[in-house]
């Protein structure tokens, strides 16, 4: 079989896809050697806690990595469930929240079905839907950048749309804006299809919607250990829903999707919440301090409820794209989204270490004193 013949076996809609584009990830050796400041992928600036590292060492000492891990991640599911007064039967663990999103979409969407989402939002949502030959209906954010729940509701109730899932992040990405719990609950009660709420950044804002799952059976909540718990490298996420939903999703989950070490580290992180709450407060304080400093330079920053900010450089200084390019030359990575046009004048900046923030501000202040042509 030649390569040309091989392409005939790939589904046409897959071949046409562009796929997801993650933020730039320099090699670890390059990052250390060139002292690159990475503020483009919303990672936690703190390393795993001492309790997590201790759990990792103890897990290694048990010398059982030649054996399969617990296929159900029972201990972790029990710990997460107990935090929200939920049974472990309401919890599903995944290889990052992205896998859980994929599992849900595969279980619900058929060719020709659709998801409805605020726009812009996390760009992986429509890509997973497209991989299943499903459609994405984009509902533009309102002028104040908040989600237009009324328009989303109109889409779910339209016979033509075939919407099976409404998916949104709260706080949203890349804007970082959070919606009120009351407004979200009001929407879910009226929504006739599944409401998937991505809470990857919720720890930096308020409590989860998880406690409402027994009352709102169409609600599905997803959380992550990557942002608040400093375990992005371990790829762990959790999904919370009615037991009947979890039971069906489990049928298409890979049996051993979470490694033994990842389960042990995640459990320790979940049990070390006081330590992580301290860190979250520090990150939020750095976030507000960064906003204040950028405000002084004429930047316009949206409401921030996550571990990043979404900000627009002043026109007289430089465009958003140019700002990102110049910072990259100074070994500081941030994220610029060229599409859609509404956000092309903004950049997303993750909150890093105290040193990272000082260097970013220092560099930005020095850039503001010169004309763009001098770089």
Instruction: Tell me the pLDDT tens digit for each residue of 281-326.
Output: 999 999 999 999 999 999 999 999 999 999 999 988 889 999 999 9
Q: What is the dihedral of CA 314, 317, 323, 327, to 10 degrees?
A: -120
Strand, helix or coil at 86?
A: coil
- Strand 332-333 relative to strand 37-38: parallel, antiparallel, unpaired? parallel
Q: Span 50-271: which CATH code?
A: 3.40.640.10
Q: What share of the chain is helix, strand, coil (3-state, %, to 5)?
A: 45, 15, 40
Q: What is the pLDDT of residue 35?
A: 84
How many alpha carbons lie under 13 Å from residue 39 in its C-beta half-sphere? 32
| Cα distance between residue 174 and residue 192, in whole Å | 27
Please answer whether residues 56 and 258 qualify as being in contact, where contact means their C-beta atoms are separated by less than 8 angstroms. Answer: no
| Cα distance between residue 294 and residue 361, in whole Å | 8
Q: What is the pLDDT of residue 5?
A: 67
What distances in angstroms separate CA 326 from CA 39, 89, 142, 218, one per listed residue?
14, 50, 31, 46
Nearest to residue 90, comparing CAs of 210, 196, 236?
A: 210
Sign of CA dihedral 181, 273, 222, 220: negative
Fold for domain 23-48+274-367?
3.90.1150
Please state the length of the chain. Answer: 375
Can 23-48+274-367 and 50-271 be said to share one CATH topology? no
The DSSP secondary-structure symbol of 163 reads E
Please answer whether residues 228 and 204 qualify as being in contact, where contact means their C-beta atoms are separated by less than 8 angstroms. Answer: yes
pTM: predicted TM-score of the whole model, two decimal places: 0.93
Which residues pair with residue 301 across a beta bridge?
311
Strand, helix or coil at 203?
A: helix
Q: Domain limits of the chain?
A: 23-48+274-367, 50-271
Q: What is the pLDDT of residue 374?
A: 39
Please answer whether residues 228 and 43 qualify as being in contact, where contact means their C-beta atoms are separated by less than 8 angstroms. Answer: no
Cβ neighbour number for residue 8 with a 10 Å cutoff: 9
Which residues pair with residue 30 across a beta bridge?
none
Q: Which runs of consecutive H residues, i.e. helices, occur in the chain?
A: 3-7, 12-15, 28-33, 50-61, 74-83, 97-108, 124-131, 149-156, 181-190, 243-250, 260-271, 273-296, 320-329, 354-367
Segments of the chain scoring below 70 in pLDDT:
1-7, 23, 28-34, 370-375
- Alpha carbon 339 to its chain's center: 18
Phi, psi (deg, nearest 5) at residue 100: -65, -40
């Amino acid at each position: 079989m030649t390569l040309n013949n091989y392409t005939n076996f790939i589904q046409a809609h897959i071949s046409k896809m562009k796929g997801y584009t993650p933020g730039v990830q320099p090699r670890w050796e390059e990052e250390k050697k060139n002292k690159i400041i990475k503020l483009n992928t919303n990672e936690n600036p703190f390393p795993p806690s001492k309790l997590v590292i201790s759990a990792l060492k103890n897990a290694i000492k048990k010398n059982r990595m030649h054996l399969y891990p617990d296929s159900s991640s029972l201990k972790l599911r029990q710990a997460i469930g107990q935090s929200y007064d939920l049974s472990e039967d309401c919890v599903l663990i995944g290889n990052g929240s992205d896998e859980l999103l994929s599992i849900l979409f595969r279980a619900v969407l058929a060719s020709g079905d659709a998801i409805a989402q605020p726009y812009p939002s996390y760009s992986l949502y429509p890509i997973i839907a497209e991989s299943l030959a499903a459609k994405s209906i984009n509902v533009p954010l309102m002028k104040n950048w908040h989600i237009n729940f009324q328009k989303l509701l109109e889409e779910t109730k339209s016979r033509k749309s075939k919407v099976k899932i409404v998916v949104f992040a709260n706080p949203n990405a890349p804007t970082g804006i959070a919606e009120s719990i009351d407004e979200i609950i009001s929407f879910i009660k009226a929504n006739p299809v599944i409401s998937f709420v991505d809470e990857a950044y919720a720890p930096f804002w308020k409590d989860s919607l998880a406690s409402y799952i027994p009352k709102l059976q169409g609600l599905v909540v997803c959380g992550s250990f990557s942002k608040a718990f400093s375990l992005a490298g371990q790829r762990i996420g959790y999904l919370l829903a009615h037991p009947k939903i979890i039971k069906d999703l489990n049928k298409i989950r890979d049996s051993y999707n979470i490694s033994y070490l990842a389960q042990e580290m995640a459990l320790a992180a979940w049990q070390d919440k006081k330590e992580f709450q301290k860190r979250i407060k520090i990150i939020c304080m750095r976030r507000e301090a960064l906003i204040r400093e950028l405000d002084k330079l004429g930047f316009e920053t949206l409401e921030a409820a996550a571990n990043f900010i979404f900000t627009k450089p002043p026109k007289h200084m430089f465009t958003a794209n140019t700002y990102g390019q110049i910072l990259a030359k100074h070994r500081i990575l941030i994220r610029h989204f060229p599409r859609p046009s509404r956000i092309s004048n903004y950049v997303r900046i993750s909150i890093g270490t105290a040193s990272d923030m000082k260097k970013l501000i220092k560099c930005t202040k020095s850039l503001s004193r010169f004309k763009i042509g001098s770089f």
